[in-house]
Structure 1
Amino acid sequence: MKLYPIEAGNFKLDGGAMFGVVPKSIWNRTNPADGNNLIDMAARCLLIEEGEKLILIDTGMGDKQSEKFYGYYNLWGDESIDKSLTKYGFHRDDVTDVFMTHLHFDHCGGSVQWNKERTGYEPAFKNARFWSNKDHWDWATTPNPREKASFLKENIIPMQQSGKLHFVEKDPTNSYLDTTPLAFGVFFADGHTDKQMIPHINYQGKTLVFMADLLPTAGHVPLPYVMGYDTRPLLTMTEKENFLNKAADENYYLFLEHDAHNQIITVKHTEKGVRLDQTFSFNELFNQ
C-alpha cells in the first residue's frame, strides 16, 4: 500500500459558522480570520494505491458550478486534483474507486463533471466505482431544509445514473466496520450529517484517520468547538469525545481534510481534556 495527499483546492468560509458558539476572540488564535471574517480552508483528499486499486477519498468542490457559486467561497491558490495526481504519476482515468465520506458539495463535487457538449453531466473518473452508504444516500437525495444547499443534485444523481454507484453495507448494531470492500475500515458519525463515514487506514505501522467533517481543522480539537453547519451539534460533541479519547489512547494520526495549514495531527490527554499534541506534514511523517 502507498498513500498520497491530494490537494483539490483551497477556499474560505466564515469563521463564526466554522466554530459555532465559540467566540471569535478564542478561535481567531488558531484559525485567524481576514477582514471579512473568513478563514483559510482546504479540500484535501487522500489517494490509496493498493494492488490494482487506486482509491480516492473525497473529491473537493469540482469546477462545474457557476462563477457566482464559487464567489461565495473565495477560492484561492492553484491546487487541483489533476495537478496533484500528475505530481505522483497518475491520471484521473487511473482511479478505480472514489469513496465519499459524505455528499456535501465540498466533498463530492469533483466526482461529477460537465460532458463535452456541456449539455449534461458525467462521472469525472470514468473508470471508477463510486462509494457511499444507503442511509446517507437517502438522506442526501431527500434533503432537509438545513442541508439542501449542500446536497446538490448535479453532484449526486449522475453517479447513480452512471450505473457505477455502490454502497458500503453498515452493520446496524455497530458504528464501526473493520473492513469494507476497499482498503480500510470506517467509523460512522451522525452529528455533522447522517451516516458520515470516517476512514481508518493502517499504514506503515500507524493508524491514519481521514477526519472529514468530524474534525475539520486542528483548531477544532476542544469538544465545544463544533461547526454551525452540523445538524446535531450535541451528538457531534459526544462523537468527538469518544473518538478523541481513543485517538489519544491509541496514538492515531489524524489526516485533516479542511485545515489549509496542517495536514496531520496527533492529540493527547491533558487536565483540560484531549488537546492538540503534534503537527506533521505528510512527507515528514511518512518519509515520502
Structure 2
Amino acid sequence: MTLYPIEAGNFKLDGGAMFGVVPKTIWNRTNPADANNMIDIAATCLLVEDGDRLILIDTGMGDKQSEKFFGYYYMWGDDNIDKSLKKHGFHRDDITDVFMTHLHFDHCGGSIQWNKDRTGYEPAFKNATFWSNKEHWEWATKPNAREKASFLKENILPMQESGQLRFVERTGEHFQDTSELGFGILYVDGHTDKQMIPHINYKGKKLVFMADLLPTAGHLPLPFVMGYDTRPLITLSEKEKFLKKAAAEDYYLFLEHDAHNEIVSVQDTEKGVRLKEVHTFNELFN
C-alpha cells in the first residue's frame, strides 16, 4: 500500500461558524482571521494505492458551481485534484474507487462535473465506484432545513443515476475493523448523520483521516465544535472518546481542512487531550 496526499483546493470560511460558541479572542490564536473574519481552510484528500486499486478519499468542492457560489468561499492558491494527481503520476481516469466521508459539498463536489455540452452532470471519475453508506445517503437525499444548503443534489444524485454508486456493507455499531476498501471505518453522528472516518494501518502507524470530526488542529479542545454540526453535544462525546484513544494508541491524525498543519499527534494532559506534535506527510512516511 502507498498513500498520497491530494490537494483539491483551498478556500476560506467564517471563523465564527467554524468555532461555534468559542469566542474569537480564543480561536483566533490558532486560526487567525482576515479582515472579513474568514480563516484559511484546505481540502486535502487522500489517495490510497492498494494493489490494483486507487481509492480517493473525498474530492473537495470541484469547479462546476457558479461564480456567485464560489464568491462565498474566497478560493485561494492554485491547487486542484488534477494537478495533484499528475504530480504523483496519476490521472483521474485511473481512480477505481471514490470514498466519501460524507456528502457535504466541500467533500464530494469534485466527484461530479458538467457533461461535455453543459446540459447535465456526469461522474468526474468515469471508471470509479462511488462509496457512501445507506443511512447517510438517506440523510443527504432527504435533507433537513439546516443542512439543505450543504447537500446539493447536483453533487449527489448523478452518482446513483450513473450506476456507479455502492454502499459500504456496515459491520459494528460504531466501528468496523475493515471494509470493502481495505481500511477500518469509525461512524460518527455529531457533524452529520453517519459520517465515516477512515482508519488506515500504514508503515507501522495508524493514520486516521479526520474529515469533519476534527477539521483543524485548533479544534482539539472539546468545546471547540463547529457551528455547522447538527448535534454538537454528540460531537463533544465523539471527540472525547476518539481523542483519548488517539492519545493512548499514538494515532496520527490527517487533517483534511487544516491549511497549515498536515498531520498531528496528540497527548493526554491535565487540560484534556492536546496537541503533541505537528508532522508533514513526507516526514512521517518517506
Superposed pair shares fold, TM > 0.5: yes
CA distance in 2, matches of 1:165, 1:45: 19
Residues 30-75 of structure 1: per-residue CA shift (max 9 Å, x gap): 0000000000000000000000000000000000000000000000
Offset of 1:164 from its aligned partner? 0.8
Structure 2: 5+ residue stretches without partners: none
Counterparts in 2 of 1:107-126, with a 5 A limit? 107-126=107-126
Counterparts in 2 of 1:6-85, with a 5 A limit? 6-85=6-85
CA distance in 2, matches of 1:31, 1:281: 18
Runs of 4+ in 1 over 6 A off after TM superposition: none
CA distance in 1, matches of 2:182, 2:26: 39
CA distance in 1, matches of 2:159, 2:179: 20
Residues 109-158 of structure 1: per-residue CA shift (max 9 Å, x gap): 00000000000000000000000000000000000000000000000000
Which residue number in structure 2 is paired with residue 249 of structure 1? 248
Q: Which amino acid aligns with 1:238?
A: S
Matched, 1:225 2:224: yes
- Please say if residues 169 and 180 of structure 2, whose CA atoms lie closer than 8 Å, have aligned partners that are also in contact: no
Which residue number in structure 2 is paired with residue 149 of structure 1? 149
CA distance in 2, matches of 1:183, 1:67: 38
Give the paired residue count. 286
Which residue number in structure 1 is paired with residue 98 of structure 2? 98
For normalisation by structure 1, the TM-score amounts to 0.99
Identity %, equivalent residues = 78
- Please say if residues 96 and 129 of structure 2, whose CA atoms lie closer than 8 Å, have aligned partners that are also in contact: yes
Matched, 1:176 2:175: yes
- Please say if residues 255 and 261 of structure 2, whose CA atoms lie closer than 8 Å, have aligned partners that are also in contact: yes
Instruction: Give SS of 2:267's match.
Output: strand
Matched, 1:235 2:234: yes
CA distance in 2, matches of 1:284, 1:170: 34
Q: Which amino acid aligns with 2:162?
A: S
Q: Which amino acid aligns with 2:2?
A: K
CA distance in 2, matches of 1:177, 1:155: 27
CA distance in 1, matches of 2:243, 2:146: 27
CA distance in 2, matches of 1:162, 1:47: 23
Instruction: Give SS of 1:9's match.
Output: coil
CA distance in 1, matches of 2:229, 2:35: 25
Q: Which amino acid aligns with 1:5?
A: P
Which residue number in structure 2 is paired with residue 158 of structure 1? 158
Mean CA deviation greater in 161-170 or 46-55: 161-170
CA distance in 1, matches of 2:99, 2:118: 25
CA distance in 2, matches of 1:101, 1:257: 11
Q: Which amino acid aligns with 1:79?
A: D
For normalisation by structure 2, the TM-score amounts to 0.99
Q: Which amino acid aligns with 1:233?
A: P
CA distance in 1, matches of 2:274, 2:133: 31
Counterparts in 2 of 1:251-266, with a 5 A limit? 251-266=250-265
Offset of 1:174 from its aligned partner? 1.9
The root-mean-square deviation of aligned C-alpha atoms, in Å, is 0.5
CA distance in 2, matches of 1:268, 1:42: 24
Offset of 1:170 from its aligned partner? 2.1
Instruction: Give SS of 2:43's match.
Output: strand
CA distance in 1, matches of 2:18, 2:227: 6
Matched, 1:206 2:191: no
Which residue number in structure 1 is paired with residue 86 of structure 2? 86
Instruction: Give SS of 2:70's match.
Output: helix
Which residue number in structure 2 is paired with residue 268 of structure 1? 267
Which residue number in structure 1 is paired with residue 4 of structure 2? 4
CA distance in 2, matches of 1:57, 1:263: 15
Residues 152-179 of structure 1: per-residue CA shift (max 9 Å, x gap): 00000000001010001223x5200111
CA distance in 1, matches of 2:179, 2:54: 15
- Please say if residues 185 and 196 of structure 2, whose CA atoms lie closer than 8 Å, have aligned partners that are also in contact: yes
Q: Which amino acid aligns with 1:17?
A: A
